[in-house]
Every structure is written in structure tokens, then in C-alpha cells.
Chains A and B, each alone.
Chain A
């Protein structure tokens, strides 16, 4: 009898744990309009929990907000939009399972996601095989290259190479030719390392120290002491919070005395808050959203940026960030394609590939058969953090 009771106890605990986890695993946004037309089903696989959640949460918020907005306005050509958002828990395996579920069970027309490069890469095989258009929200250029093996894959975040070219021109302008490169040991950091190494060789910048750290590391002092002995004139860090915040604090504690440059991966307020004052002075290339109030009115993105900021702030009581912006771009690229192509996956893909002059949050997109990102260096600006605020450089 006792054994049985214990067994029941264990099972209860396991079921309770399962319920707790699944409770936050996914949410369905299925607002149907009264129009009788067949709904357009689209899916999103986002890193809502886990190590990339600082990217995924604003993306999920943005997608939900926009889906509501489109449906409130009568849907797409009268077709209601059904958006299913799944959480991949920042895990590659979960991402593959989620995208299979969206394609097999939900029969979605296209997929948005994931938030991070690693999780995005993991879905490519599936969407290529099933011939489903996918728009990734992550940075690594490997997601859309080589294009002949990525016919169905697009992405909205500026590719590493765009960011790095921007960064490289800044370094050369300031005469910083000996630099240290530190990166987090995952697909994002590695993508940055490969692109940075190539760009440095081409641009005459020497990498005098190259260090990596784990996303879960709590102290990067060892890596930074190696940078300190290397004689670098500047340090470039390729990481996202919280590890990006921790390394920034270590950098200040160690009194490094050289400029600290980050990637666009730290483009949210969370990074500044967690660095607790250590972020002041950090320089990074980033999309224009974060300094929307400082860019000239003549900029083609100004109107889009202001509308997005206004709507997001109103709904979620906090300003949006560039990650939410990647979701905004992905969503409207897809909505535009659905408007023109209707419920046909191949036609959606073709329209996406022909996107020209689309002013989004991350930049002006000009896609082509050889470029499935469509952004160039003009989509980025250099900013510096001053007193906990983003400031446009020159």
C-alpha cells in the first residue's frame, strides 16, 4: 500500500512539473474576424524562455500586437490571420519539433523565427524539405547563405557582415588597428567571429587576441586579463545579455583603459540596466530604432519607427527594442507577400524574394535572388551609451 502511495506521489510531482512547464510553452493567437473567408494560418517559433529570452519576449509581444492589429482592420484581403506562436525554450531540438508541428498539424503557410542564430539554423532543413517559406529574426549570415541551399529562407536582422562592415569602418576611422575579439561560444558568437576575422583580414585590422566564453559564465575576468596583456587598442565583444552585461562589468572593474565595442546583440535597455553603470562608453553598431528620436526627419524609416514605438509603448508600457523590430519586419514582409500571393507557399516565397524598397524598422529591404536579407550598411548607425542612454554618434 505504502509503495503505491509513494508512486502516486512521484507521478503527481511529475505531472505537476509538466503542467507548470507546458503552461508557458505556447500561446495561440487565433482572433477570428467575422468575415467568412478562409483564414490565413501562419506560425512563429520564438525563443521565449531560456538563454535567448531577452530577444524572444519583445518579438512575441510585437507579433501578437501586430496580428491583433491586422485582424482588427479586417484581416488580409478579408482573410482573417491566425498566428500560432510556439516557444522553443532557446533549444535547437525544441525548435525543430515546433516547426514540424506548425507545418504538419497547423498547416501554416509560412514560419517566422527563430530569435537566435542557432535555433534558426536548426529549422532550415525542415522548411527546405517541406518547401515552406521561413523568415528568421536572427543575425548570422549563414542562415540565408549559400542562397541556392536556402531557397525558402529569409531573414530580417542585419547580417553579421553588414554589422561588421559598419564596425570595421569605425575602427579604421579611429585608427584602431590592433583589436581583441571576444565572443560567446554559440552560433551567434561564432558567426560574428568568422565574419569579423574575414573582414579584419580584408580591412587591414589585426586581431591580437581572440577569446571565447560560455553563455552561462559568471565571470569573464580570465579572458579579459589575456586581452590586457595582448596590447590591443580596442576590444570587440560579440555576445548578448546576461553574459554581455557581465563582461562589461568585468571590463570596468579591470580598468582596461581601451574602448569597448559591442555587437547589435546588446541593443536593449536590459543590457544597460544589468551592467549597472558599466555600460557607459560602450560603442556599438545598431539599427535606427533605438535612436529614432535623434535621426533626421528625411530618413525613409522615420515614420515606421515612430508608429512602432508609439503602438508598442502604448500596449506594453515599455519602449520596443531592435529585436521586436526584427519581428515587425518579418511580420509585415509576410503580410505583404500574403496580400499579393494568397494562400500559396511557392508564390509567397517568390514575392518575398522580389521585395524592393520596403521601409521597415531594421532598414530598407531590397531582396534579390542572391540576397535573402536585403539590408546594407545604411540600415545601421553607430551609437554610444552615455549616462545609461543611447546616443547617435556624429
Chain B
């Protein structure tokens, strides 16, 4: 394997990892922008969605049906969580709300442990066939599905925020909650929608990545952390930034592991995060100056 095909192979690997981080960062940033809550339980939505879909698939449902049912149920769970834990505390400080999401994260992980146990589960790849060979590097077909899903989700969110009435109402809540109330927008309803939506995005991401990464009850925490790092790199107020941050993180991790030393992988990611926070705390794409 020569250097150029090795670089290419690493790029594909980085894109796979990056698209996983991007999807989590995407959901994280969306909720954060709508509700002002940094939802640290976001990773658990990913884990629960993946585990639920795997169980449904094992129970005999076709893959597509398992996907839809799982996404719908996790969206409902997101809504339930918002009503039960976030809504009653909506007037409290941001810190309180974050602590509530930490509690939620622990509870949901405990629930997943009780329901699914500790063994990893898996789903079949969405399309059959071996990996594609591109310029001496091999690309797993599921990678293309994950990349496609990230692109579609990003496009849909963009259209929603820019072109629909509801999307604009959501943005109004972000900019000024009181003023939004005065013009007849219900911030409570928007918050409910945000949690249901991030539940759905999280579950969908979990299901797309499971054929590659396998699903365990405790996968959510690590993904949540990486998603948060990606969002911080890209800027917490910008979905495009979150996606970019995810890819930067994934590619950096892979190149440092593949070219320098496999021991350096996580260290490089953290150094970049620290450098970002010190040099450009508002995130890479914050220069555009507008939220979402």
C-alpha cells in the first residue's frame, strides 16, 4: 500500500467517523439553539434508538419498518422527557437545566442497561455487497449511507429553519423568548418540538451507524462527548459549523492515529479543542454572525 492510497484510505475512515460525530453535534446544536439547553442526554437518544431498532429487527420487522418505529418512539421519548423534566424547570437557570439533562442521561443509560443488558448488538448493513475500491482504498458501503444521511438531515433542517413558518417561529424563540411570546409564539411548544426532533435525529443517527460500530447500552456517553467537542469546534450556534466540526474531529483523529501513532488519537482531538477554546471560543463558523 503506497502513501497516496494510505492517505486516501485514512480520509475515507475519517469521513465515516466524522459523519458520526457530525450527526450527534447536529442534534446537540439544534436543541441548544431552540431551548438554550445543552442536552447532555443526546448521546442516550442515539444509543436507545440503535438498541430499539436492533430489537425490533430481531423480532422480525423489516429493517425500514424497524427504523421508522424506532425513530418515532425515540422522538416520543424525547417529547416525554421534555414534558417530565425540562418543562417544569423551564424558568430555572441554564446550569440547573444542564444538571437535569445529566440526571436524564444517567437514568436513560440505566434504563437501557435494564432492558438490553450489556452485550453489544448489531444490525445488517443497509445495502449488501463488499466494500468499494477507490484508488487503492476501500470504502464500506454503509459509510455512504451515513454520509448521505448527514447531508439530508442538514438540508432538511436548513429548509425548515429558513423557509417554513414554524422554523421561523423556532428561531424567534432563540433570539428573544419574551418578544416571541408577545407576538403569539408558544416557546413551550417549540421546546417540545425541539426535544422530539433531536430524539428523532439521534435515533436515526444511531441506527445508521450501528452496522459499522455496533450498539451497546453505554455507547451514548462517548458519542455525546465527541459530539459536544465537534459542536464546540464548529461553534455552538451554527448547524453548518457543527457538521464541519464533526468532520474536522474525525479526520484529525484518524490521521494522527494512522500517520503518527495510534496512541495519539484522543490527545490530538483534545489539543485541538483546547486550542479552539483559547483562540476562537465562539467556534470556527461564528464569523457569519447569525444564529442557526
Could you list which residues of chain A lie within 8 angstroms of chain B, going by C-beta atoms? Answer: 2-3, 5-6, 9-10, 13-14, 16-17, 20-21, 23-24, 48-51, 53-54, 56-57, 185, 211-214, 216-219, 221-223, 225-226, 228-229, 241-242, 245-246, 253-255, 270, 273-274, 276
Contacts and interface: CB of A to CB of B under 8 A. Distances in A.
Given A229-B6, A253-B131, A13 B119 contact: no
Nearest to A227: B1
Nearest to B125: A276
B96 A10 contact: yes
Given A16-B107, A53-B119, A270-B119, A225 B9 contact: yes
B214 interface: yes
Contact of A246 (B1, B214, B218, B266): B214
Nearest to B122: A274
A216 B122 contact: no
B254 interface: yes
Contacts of A217: 265
A50 B118 contact: yes
B198 interface: no
B13 interface: yes
Given A9-B85, A242-B120, A246-B213, A222 B107 contact: no
Contact of B257 (A5, A24, A223, A253): A223
B118 A13 contact: no
Given A20-B111, A222-B10, A13 B262 contact: no
Interface stretch (B30-38, B68-76, B98-106, B169-177): B98-106
Nearest to A21: B110
Q: Report, nearest first, the 6 A-B pairs whose CB atoms are least far apart.
A: A20-B110, A222-B258, A53-B118, A13-B103, A221-B13, A17-B106
A9 B100 CA distance: 9
A75 to B, nearest CB: 31
Contact of A6 (B13, B96, B257): B96
Contacts of B65: none
11 contacts: A6-B88, A10-B89, A13-B103, A20-B107, A24-B114, A213-B257, A216-B222, A219-B213, A226-B262, A255-B131, A274-B120
Nearest to B211: A276
B17 interface: yes
Contact of B266 (A9, A214, A229, A255): A214
B117 to A, nearest CB: 7
B191 to A, nearest CB: 16
B89 to A, nearest CB: 5
Contacts of B138: 253-255
A57 B117 contact: yes
A267 B10 CA distance: 30
A258 B3 CA distance: 20
Interface in B131-169: 131, 138, 140
A295 B222 CA distance: 43
A23 B262 CA distance: 38
A276 B120 CA distance: 13
A49 B113 contact: yes
Contacts of B265: 214, 217
Most chain A beta-carbon neighbours within 10 Å: one of B1, B122, B213: B1
B126 to A, nearest CB: 13
Contact of A13 (B85, B91, B216): B85
Interface string B1-14: 11000100110110
B88 A5 contact: yes
Contacts of B117: 53, 57
Given A218-B17, A221-B254, A242-B214, A13 B104 contact: yes
Contact of B107 (A17, A213, A242): A17
Contacts of A273: 122
Interface in B255-289: 255, 257-258, 262-263, 265-266
Contacts of B209: 218
B100 A13 contact: yes
A148 to B, nearest CB: 33
A213 B111 contact: no
Given A9-B100, A20-B114, A221-B10, 4 more contacts: A20-B110, A54-B120, A228-B1, A276-B124
Nearest to A268: B119
B263 A185 contact: yes
Given A57-B119, A211-B262, A229-B1, A274 B214 contact: yes
A10 B103 contact: yes
Among B12, B212, B216, B262, the most chain A Cβ lie within 10 Å of the Cβ of B262
Contacts of A228: 1, 6
A273 B123 CA distance: 11
B174 to A, nearest CB: 23
Contact of B263 (A48, A54, A57, A212): A212
A241 B120 contact: yes
B127 interface: no
Contacts of A14: 103
